[in-house]
Structures are given as structure tokens and as C-alpha cells.
Amino acid sequence: MYESLILNGIYTAKPIDVGLLKCYKALLRCNYGECKRRLHGVLTRLILRGQLATYELREESPEKCLARIYVKDYSIIDEVKSELHNILDNTIEYVGEEYPPHPAIETFFDLLADVAFKEAGFEKIKSKGVYLDRDKQRAIGKRTVIKIEHDNAGGEKYHGILFIDYSNVARSSLADKLLEELGVDDFTSLKENSNLRLKAIELASSYIGKTVLTLVKRGTEYEHVYGKIVDLEPVFAREWKLPNEQSIHNLWFERYRKDEKVKLFIETEPSEWEFPLFKVEVERVRKEPLTYPPSLLKPIEAPEPPDPITRWDNIRKIVRIVEDDIKRVYKSLTGEKLEFRYIKYDIDSQLVGVRLNFYTGSDSEKPFRDTAVKLKYRDSKGNERSFLASPLYVFNRGCVPYAGRQELKLLVVYPSTISRSELEKFVNYLSSLFRELNFGNIVSCNYHSYTYDSANLSESLTSLEKAMQQAFTSCSKLEYLLLVIIPDSDEFYELSKRVASSKGFHTQLLGLETFSTAAKYISIIESSSTDTWVKQRVESALRSLIANVCGGMYVEYLIQKSIALGKASGPLTWILAEPADGSAQSMYVGLDVSTKRGVSGVAFILLDPYGKLIDAKVIQLKSEVLRYQEYYDVLRYMVSKAREQGLKRIVILRDGIPRTSLELSECLQAFNRVTTELKYETELEYVAVIKRSTVRIFGSNRKTKLNPLQGTYTHLYKIRHLGYNAHEVLVVASKPERGGEEREGTVRPIILRIYELRKTYSLEELKRIAEEYLALTRLNFWNIATGVSKLALPVKMADILSYMLSMGIPIKA
């Protein structure tokens, strides 16, 4: 066990103090993101030259921002004017001498960190705000925070916090990976072999949606950038022609020959027979995707996740380098010393707590057994039963889902690459396990095949759509559920969901790779030559894999049937044995805004204190931001539902942080109006769930670093965001991913940002919200092994629905 908790961050022991600075204001004619990018670049260069400067920025309209620029030396303001001349509206106006407020101090500390990374020799990947280390083997992410503290007189003091984490950049390019998986030495083997080309396309398709590191040329210089693979071009590098008729191979061959940076990145001479080519979206380079040969692409995140000791050691090395440069630059600018401390907590600190969202019975968990989240099911006679154990364990021992057994008919839509005999064996196993786990019975199964050609996306999608339309003929939503087997692709996901949803059907999607794994397991089990111990291990793996498919089918069918009956509410597979808030007074609302292809959608999922579904609301937005009217319409419905059920508290769990201060202020205005009009007083809590963060946490003692218990949480600090005070609480809601030989990686916590919209929070209230969140993570009906997800159920469901809405998929809720 560990003695303390330590974060991958350092904080300034003394408050940041830049003294009185000269303040100028200017109106800038561009959107907020562009204004920030331009200002940040100008002031970074000034600080590199030893000039103290910072800024704060406020959006006035979609295409105008008000900037307040703070400098120590007034003579540099002419340089700022010159750099910003093409976006300046009129001129820069002198305001007077001021102590920079919180937003400007926040920006100053971020500028300090950027300068320190640059001084240390790290290259910034501008589109993502991350840095490449000197060996180009790690992509380093940073997060800067200003912690607010109050002195005895009530004045605010600002401490800077810097978090550092990294992702591995694969040493091998996609060309190396394709050749290895194809089992050939070079791409010339594909020239006359159509089967190898088809296999190459199939392998390359698995990288669609992945993030890669590549190069772009800006002027005469080459720059490392992040890109996202969005499509393939099934042609050789020598065949793909640019507008000037030069082939993509000749372009990069010439660059490889002439430029050392390109040579270091590619390492070996590019081949004219590289196949296939990749379409890559690169932010702020061109709107349309760029075409690259595989030798120019290196995946981010090596397949082997670092264990806690390795990650901590690597982070600490980077921190030491950057910390020294921050200290040096700060002293040169202010004349003052800056000291840093690691962020560390004793395990018995009042700031730390544990609520196990899944109890395994390990020795380290036993002291916290009483905190563990229990679930409630029904026994064979319909009586309620509560358990700590895995849902899989409970169902194996005769309990049934809370909503009872279901009888359904299955419509299976599958690609032509799957043999019918393999598919029927899979479905037979699925049906048997569905019945064995007490989900109910799959009483019949209809099969519909579609033509799948990895080299011809259009024909494959057209065939899938036709097969799905045929499957729906004369099928009742009260009887049938759709199981669709598709490759891992946004296009196939979108089409499957859109076609099914247009007919009022839910779908259980199954990845082609998952099916292939299951089919392989079944084949091993059936083989008479398989050793008994191997067979047992494979049977266990197959059972776990298919159990989750069964769980997904059950909940999708239940929701589909409920909507068809006009009552989309009530319990699903299980509920919490005790209310998440301990008093059964709260409604939990998942909120997510998603934008894709210029379309924005927002979803609200309402749950009662036990995790029973109250309702779901989806709205198409005109912009990416929730405004007063949308909030008013949904809050009116929420408060009326709370009044019906006697609930005195509404907790909004927003997936991600609000985009503008108006999202918060107009939410509050709408809420106050609704409660007045409905004459029903209820509390409002607004919590942003930050699921992708640079912050890491380690259990620590003198000898080692390890992952903390799942269910650990700790209050981090008080900050200010969008004009509101907020608290951030770190929550370890899931296990880390595992690498080879089941070696454990490093856990990635989520951050709860709790805004003080209507009141200030005590430490106990903040800890209570963390424990409520952990309880709601135990409602993952798509994970039968533990019932746990990193995301609380209302957030998870809102994320799925808003994404579907933004893709133009019709949703009936």
C-alpha cells in the first residue's frame, strides 16, 4: 500500500507577482481562437527577449475580441501594434498602470511555461499545443492552472500549477507496421499480388480515426504536426499525382534527399510502391485532407502503456528541465525567485477520500469495503436483491435484470466476408449465453448479408443500407432488435445508426475485429487438439466478450421497446441499492454538446437518485453554444419532473467544459426564472466532467509509484473560469489499460469542475459530489464484468446521443 498520493504537477510555493504594469486595450477583428493564437505568439517572442508582458482576452462577438495587453516597458507596444496591424480595429489605447487581474496572471504563467519548453529545446506542435521532446519520441502535453487562495485580509493570491504528461510516438512508421503485418520485406511484393493489396487495405483501414505525427512544409521549413487519418487511397505512391503532375512519391523522395529533417523523420528512402496512401486531416493547414504515403506517418501512443514507475520517472525528468527554465525566465523578468513544490497529499488528509465503485476483495480494498457501491437486481421470484459483486457473477447465480427477462427476435446484418457457418456458431453461443445469464430468450434469428469490399467504400455502404432496409420489412419494434456487424469506421457507424433510427430501431453494433476474435475462440474451443487448460482460458475470455454483447443487446432492446410503448423511463438492467446522494433527493442530468460537419446537437439524460431513467431530451442547435432559450425549455421540463417526484436538487453533469461565460450565466438566469414560474424551489449544481486531462495521480512511497485504488478522489484547488469560481476534484473511476503480458499501465483520472453558480461549497459538499459521481459510474449496462465506466451513466448516454444528433442521425426519445 502507498503512504501518500502525488500528482504529475508542480506548484509555485509563493504567489506569482508581476507588480504594476502598463495596460493597453485594443479591439481585434477575428474570432477568439485566432486572436488568442496571434497574441500568444507575439507575447511569447517578447518574453523570449526578456520583456515582461501578458494579456487577457474577451470575446465581444463571433468575429471581434477585446484585448487588454499588459507590459512593463511601454516602448514595446509599437512592436505589438505592428505585429497585429492586420487585425487591429483602429488603434491600441493606453488605459493606465494596473495590477494584472486573474485572467492576465493565468495567461502569464502559461506564457512562462511555453517559453520554458522552447528554451529547453522542445518543438511545439502548434495545432495541438503539445511538444515533441528532443529525440522526437514523446509528445509532451502540459496544463497550466492558477490556484486561488485568500490572505488574512480577504485578498486573492495566485499560485501557478503546471501539469506535465506524455504520449509515446511510435518509432516505426505506418509503412513499417504494414510490411510487418503483411509478412513482406518491401512494398514491391504488392506490385503483382492483388491478395496482398487487399490485405494491405484491410490492415490500413484499422488506422482510420487514429492520430499520427507527420510533416508539413511551411515556406522553406518543415514542421511536425498532428493529423487524423480519415480515409484511404488504394493506389501506389508512384500513381498518385499532384496538380503539377508530380507523383506523391517523387515529392517526398526529393524532400528526403534534400532536407535533413525529412531524412531523420522517415529514416529510410521512401518507396514508389508504397500502398495504400492515407488521407489525413491536419488542423490549420488546409480544409481538405492531405494525402500521405505510409512512411510519412507515425502513430501517437505506442501499444505498450507505461507502468506507473516508468511514467513517473519520465515525467519527473521533463519537469526538472522545464522547471529550471521557468525559474530562470521568471527571475529575469521580475527580479524575484520562484520555487516549486510537487502536489502531494497524505492518504489520511481531509482532502482525500475513497468510495469504491467496484469491490474486488483485494487486501488493499478491504478497509474501504463499507464505502463500496452496491447494485440491486431481482431474484427468480421478483424480489429485490443487493450485491457488491460483478453483474456477471450475480446473473450466473440466478438473479435477473431489474427490468425482468425479455423475449426478442434478432435481425443479424453481416458482411459477405464472414462465413455463414461461423456466424451461426457465434449466434448460437450468443443466444445460449443470453438465456444462461437470465436476460431472457432470443426466440428466432433472421440473417441478412451485405457486400463488403475494403477497397470500395461506396459500394459497401450502399449494400449495407440495402440489407438493413430489407431486414426491417414487416418487423415490429416491440419484437425485434438489430445486430449489425461492421468494420471499425465512422461511415459504417453513422449509416447503421441513421438507417436504424429512421425506422425507430436501436442497434447493437459489433466490430468486425470483435467478431473475428470470438470466432477464433470458438474454433479453438471446438478443436479436439486444444489442451484442457488452454480451452478453459479461451472459454473464459469468450464468455466475458460475449457477455458484454448480451448486456448491450438487453439494454438497447429495453430502451427501444419502452420508446415504442411511449414510456421511455424506468429501471434498466440494474439500479443502485442506495441513492447516489444518500437521501434520494437528487435528479442527475447528463448534458453533452457535439458538433460534426457543421451540425451541433445537445442531449440531456435525466436519471433519478437510484439510476432509473426519467427521460431524455435532444435538441438541434444553431450554434456550438447552449443559449438561454434552449436552457429555459429544458430546465422547465427538468424542474417540472423534479416537482412530480419530490426531488429538491438537480445536478447537471456536462461532458466537457462550457465554451463561453454565457452558457453559465444564461443557464442560471433560465433556472431562476423557471423555479419562480413553477413555484418550486430546488438546488442547482453545475459540474463539468473533464474526461481527457493531462493530470495523473500516483500512489507513492519511498520505494515505488503505483496506481491508487479505483474509487479514490481528492480536492485539488479552487480556480476561476469564465468569470465564475470553481473547484476541481480528481476522481479515479476506472482501472488503467493493460499492456503486454497483462502489465498494468497508468490510470487516467477524470476531473470534476464544480462551478459556484448559486453558492460557495464546503469541502464536505465537494467530496459528496465526487462520491455521487462514483456511484453513477456503476451503471454501465454495456459492461457486465464490472458494471463500471469511467463516465457516469448520464454523461455516457448524453455523449452517445449528441454525437448521433450531430451526425444527422434521427433520434426518437
pLDDT in tens, 323-371: 999 999 999 999 999 999 999 999 999 999 999 999 999 999 999 999 9
- The answer to whether residues 674 and 642 touch, using CB atoms and an 8 Å cutoff, is no
With H, G, I as helix, E, B as strand and everything else as coil, classify residue 752. Answer: strand
Decide whether 19-99 matches 174-299 in CATH topology.
no
With H, G, I as helix, E, B as strand and everything else as coil, classify residue 380. Answer: coil
Please tell me the predicted confidence (pLDDT) of residue 811. Answer: 66
Please tell me the predicted confidence (pLDDT) of residue 286. Answer: 74
With H, G, I as helix, E, B as strand and everything else as coil, classify residue 658. Answer: coil
Q: What is the gyration radius of the CA atoms in the chain, in angstroms?
A: 28
Which CATH number fits the domain 575-806, given the four candidates 3.40.640.10, 3.40.920.10, 3.30.420.10, 3.90.850.10?
A: 3.30.420.10
Domain ranges of the chain: 19-99, 174-299, 404-564, 575-806
Q: What does the pLDDT average to over 382-387?
A: 94
Q: What does the pLDDT average to over 154-171?
A: 92
Residue 627: pLDDT over 80? yes
Q: Span 174-299: which CATH code?
A: 2.170.260
Residue 131: pLDDT over 60? yes
Please tell me the predicted confidence (pLDDT) of residue 353. Answer: 97
More confident residue, 2 or 600: 2
- The answer to whether residues 712 and 677 touch, using CB atoms and an 8 Å cutoff, is no
Residue type, 11: Y
Cα–Cα distance for residue pair 341/333, rounded to 1 Å:
21
Q: Facing residues of 93 across strands?
A: 25
Cα–Cα distance for residue pair 656/659, rounded to 1 Å:
9
Residue 627 C-alpha cell reads as 443559449
Please tell me the predicted confidence (pLDDT) of residue 387. Answer: 95
In eight-state DSSP terms, residue 51 is -
Q: What does the pLDDT average to over 289-309?
A: 87
- The answer to whether residues 87 and 39 touch, using CB atoms and an 8 Å cutoff, is no
Phi then psi for residue 687, to 5 deg, are: -125, 120
- Beta strands in 388-469, from DSSP E residues, in sequence order: 406-415, 440-450
Q: What does the pLDDT average to over 622-642?
A: 88
Share of the chain above pLDDT 70, in %: 97
Q: What angle do CA 533, 534, 540 make, to 5 degrees?
A: 90
- The answer to whether residues 813 and 620 touch, using CB atoms and an 8 Å cutoff, is no
Residue with the three cell numbers 437510484: 610
CA distances from 736 to 101, 456, 696, 708 (A): 39, 37, 11, 10
Q: What does the pLDDT average to over 718-737?
A: 94
With H, G, I as helix, E, B as strand and everything else as coil, classify residue 239. Answer: coil
- The answer to whether residues 650 and 587 touch, using CB atoms and an 8 Å cutoff, is yes
Please tell me the predicted confidence (pLDDT) of residue 302. Answer: 59
Please tell me the predicted confidence (pLDDT) of residue 334. Answer: 96
> How many of the other CB atoms lie within 10 Å of CB of 102?
15
Residue 597: pLDDT over 70? no
Please tell me the predicted confidence (pLDDT) of residue 742. Answer: 56
Relative orientation angle of helices 532-564 and 420-436, to the nearest 10 degrees: 80
- The answer to whether residues 77 and 51 touch, using CB atoms and an 8 Å cutoff, is no
Residue 529 CB contacts under 8 Å (≥ 6 apart), including other chains: none
Q: What angle do CA 449, 455, 458 make, to 5 degrees?
A: 65
- The answer to whether residues 356 and 710 touch, using CB atoms and an 8 Å cutoff, is yes
Residue with the three cell numbers 470458438: 522
Q: If phi over 0 gives left and psi between -120 and 50 gives alpha, with beta otherwise, what is residue 438?
A: left
- The answer to whether residues 287 and 727 touch, using CB atoms and an 8 Å cutoff, is no
The structure's pTM equals 0.92
Which CATH number fits the domain 19-99, given the four candidates 3.30.70.1150, 3.40.50.12240, 3.40.50.300, 3.30.565.10?
A: 3.30.70.1150
Residue with the three cell numbers 463500496: 372
Buried b (16+ CB within 10 A) or exposed e, 700-727: beeeebbbbbbbbbbbbbbbbbeebebb
Residue 114 C-alpha cell reads as 511555453
Quickly state the pLDDT bin for 795 (edges 50, 70, 90): very high
What is the four-CA torsion angle of 379, 385, 386, 391, rounded to 10 degrees? 10
Cα–Cα distance for residue pair 3/702, rounded to 1 Å:
9
Which CATH number fits the domain 404-564, given the four candidates 3.10.20.30, 3.40.50.2300, 3.30.70.20, 3.40.50.720?
A: 3.40.50.2300
Q: What is the pLDDT of residues 235-282, one digit of tens each?
A: 999 999 999 999 999 999 999 999 999 999 998 899 999 999 999 998
Residue 810: pLDDT over 70? no
Q: What does the pLDDT average to over 408-433?
A: 96
CB hemisphere CA count around 142 (13 angstroms): 28
Q: What does the pLDDT average to over 679-697?
A: 96
What is the four-CA torsion angle of 563, 567, 571, 573, rounded to 10 degrees? -20
In eight-state DSSP terms, residue 189 is G
Q: Facing residues of 299 across strands?
A: 212
Alpha carbon 119 to chain centroid, angstroms: 31
Quickly state the pLDDT bin for 303 (edges 50, 70, 90): low
Residue 566: pLDDT over 70? yes
On the 0-12 / 13-18 / 19+ scale of CB atoms within 10 A, 669 is: middle
In this structure, are strands 277-281 and 221-233 parallel, antiparallel, or unpaired? antiparallel
More confident residue, 769 or 1: 769
Residue 33: pLDDT over 70? yes
Quickly state the pLDDT bin for 154 (edges 50, 70, 90): confident
Phi then psi for residue 599, to 5 deg, are: -110, 135
Share of the chain above pLDDT 90, in %: 77
Cα–Cα distance for residue pair 476/613, rounded to 1 Å:
23
